[in-house]
Structure 1
Amino acid sequence: MDAWVRFSAQSQARERLCRAAQYACSLLGHALQRHGASPELQKQIRQLEGHLSLGRKLLRLGNSADALESAKRAVHLSDVVLRFCITVSHLNRALYFACDNVLWAGKSGLAPRVDQEKWAQRSFRYYLFSLIMNLSRDAYEIRLLMEQETSAYGRRMKISGVPGGGETGGPGGPATPGGCLPQLALKFRLRVLLLARVLRGHPPLLLDVLRNACDLFIPLDKLGLWRCGPGIVGLCGLISSILSILTLICPWLRLKP
């Protein structure tokens, strides 16, 4: 209960709850349309989705400043790749939130002359760039962990006296030539097993990969780069929202730095 109280006290948590409800409405609306629900019910779901979207924009006012502060902190990271990926990601998030604030002003009637379509496209472009940087950072972290796991496995094999322990690229047995599987397929299988082992041993990284991968479908669809449909967008948005809420409830699941 204490964890839930701390969770609900955060404005970010309220925004994530609204986000989950918004994409749940999108998914529900798609399901109702496919099953031939009444037009009135579909209209109500669309209106609720629109209200939730506008409410989220209100909750995100001022997030640009937070993103800029995060970018300033990321500049001091010692790892060059992490410094670049995280800083650029936060800068794109700041621009995304700025465009989102303009959209909120237009939709709320404060700035009726705002070209909402143009600003929406801009915001989704910045959102897409931010997600690409996040996934690049995830890939870099996975590569480092896989190299560490391979080195540790090689040392264990060397200590135990097993020859050729470092040739497998990780746990899973020696890569014997002339076996049932071709050598290339065997190496690929070992790399996949190593990847699964790394992700299983690092839940924050696994959740971050899943969340960013799900979020990626949203700007791709909105920008017309890959039409997924409202059903896929709603499902991916709902999954990523639930994962984000999970990281707020359990802070140890948040990827750091």
Structure 2
Amino acid sequence: MASVASQLILHPVASRALKLLNTTLGRDKLYRAVQYFARFLAWFLLSREYKIEAARWNALKSHLALARKLLRLGKPLENLQAVLRALQTSGESGEQITTIGRHLGYFGYLTLDTLVWANAVKFFNLKPSTAEKVNKNANRFWFAGILFSITHSLLKAGRLANEIKKLQSSGSWGEKGAETDRDMKLQALRSAREATRYQFTLDMLDVWLPAANIGLVNFNDGILGLCGLITSLMALRQQWIAVSKN
């Protein structure tokens, strides 16, 4: 029995899970997955008149949303650093502009979201009308950031597709070293295109969350909960792969 317990506790998957949860991003994405699952389940239970059970999951959703705001304190600085790096690098102007717009959008969102958190924990008190306005503006910045991210993915995917097509149509280069170099470049371009498509899919699902919060769409909590759950699991998968490489 002790041997079985040791194998389970020391299993490589358990070790990777601990590495994942040792990162702030890993914990945030896990909390986010549970938060949006709770949102979906609360809607599902409420639609079937299970009000007491739904209230339990609604409370969990609200507490996790508040906890995640605390985890994101300081992240606006990362977005400002990304803006500066984008300004200092050369490349496609469209991709550069959308990268800057995306990070400025996320900077505005996370900065205002910090004010929402501070008000929620009573660090300072905002008038209800002011708190609502701050929350709505935060979601506007979030929505803008995702739109810039979607545009960036489209521009980058188009550029990568053209580069791949151009490299493939170049034909045989004759020399073995040149062929190997071309294959490596093709592999790198395809990997980049795959990552770009993955991000595009994630953004196309996530965009409905702030869109609903600012009243652009009228989706119910079931749809929004599923969108958030799927994108959380997608982001969690990316972080799992990242920590597994270390």
Output the TM-score relative to the length of structure 1.
0.76
Residue type matched to 2:142 in 1? Answer: Y
Q: Distance in 2 between matches of 1:46 and 1:53?
A: 11
Counterpart for residue 213 of structure 2? 222
Aligned to 2:160, which of 142, 145, 162? Answer: 145
Per the alignment, do residues 59 and 249 of structure 1 end up closer, same or farther by CA in structure 2, a change over 3 Å counting?
same
Would you say how many aligned residue pairs link Structure 1 and Structure 2? Answer: 213
- Residue 63 (1) aligns with residue 75 (2): yes
- Secondary structure of the corresponding residue to residue 122 of structure 2: coil
Q: Deviations over 1:198-225 (max 9, x none)?
A: 9898431222011111110101111111
- Secondary structure of the corresponding residue to residue 78 of structure 1: coil
Aligned to 2:231, which of 226, 237, 240? Answer: 240
Q: Which has the higher helix share?
A: 2
Structure 1 regions of 5+ residues with no counterpart?
158-197, 253-257
Aligned to 1:104, which of 101, 113, 117? Answer: 117
Counterpart for residue 30 of structure 1? 43
Across the aligned residues of Structure 1 and Structure 2, the Cα RMSD in angstroms comes to: 2.3
Q: Distance in 1 between matches of 2:219 and 2:168?
A: 41
Per the alignment, do residues 77 and 200 of structure 1 end up closer, same or farther by CA in structure 2, a change over 3 Å counting?
closer
Structure 2 regions of 5+ residues with no counterpart?
1-11, 173-188
Counterpart for residue 5 of structure 2? none
User: Following TM superposition, by how much is the alpha carbon of 1:52 offset from its aligned partner in structure 2, in angstroms?
Assistant: 0.6
Residue type matched to 2:42 in 1? Answer: G
Q: Deviations over 1:7-58 (max 9, x none)?
A: 2111121111111111010111111122232x11111111111101110111
Q: Distance in 2 between matches of 1:61 and 1:78?
A: 30
Aligned to 1:74, which of 86, 92, 106? Answer: 86
| Paired-residue identity, % | 22
Q: Distance in 1 between matches of 2:25 and 2:209?
A: 20
Q: Does the aligned pair in 1 maintain the 2:140–2:210 contact within 8 Å? A: yes
Output the TM-score relative to the length of structure 2.
0.79
Q: Distance in 1 between matches of 2:193 and 2:37?
A: 28
- Secondary structure of the corresponding residue to residue 250 of structure 1: helix
Q: Deviations over 1:100-157 (max 9, x none)?
A: 0000011111122252211110010000110011001100011112223443454459
Task: Between the two structures, name the one with larger relative contact order (CA 8 Å, sep ≥ 6).
Answer: 2
- Residue 51 (1) aligns with residue 51 (2): no
Counterpart for residue 120 of structure 1? 135
Runs of 4+ in 1 over 4 A off after TM superposition: 152-157, 198-201
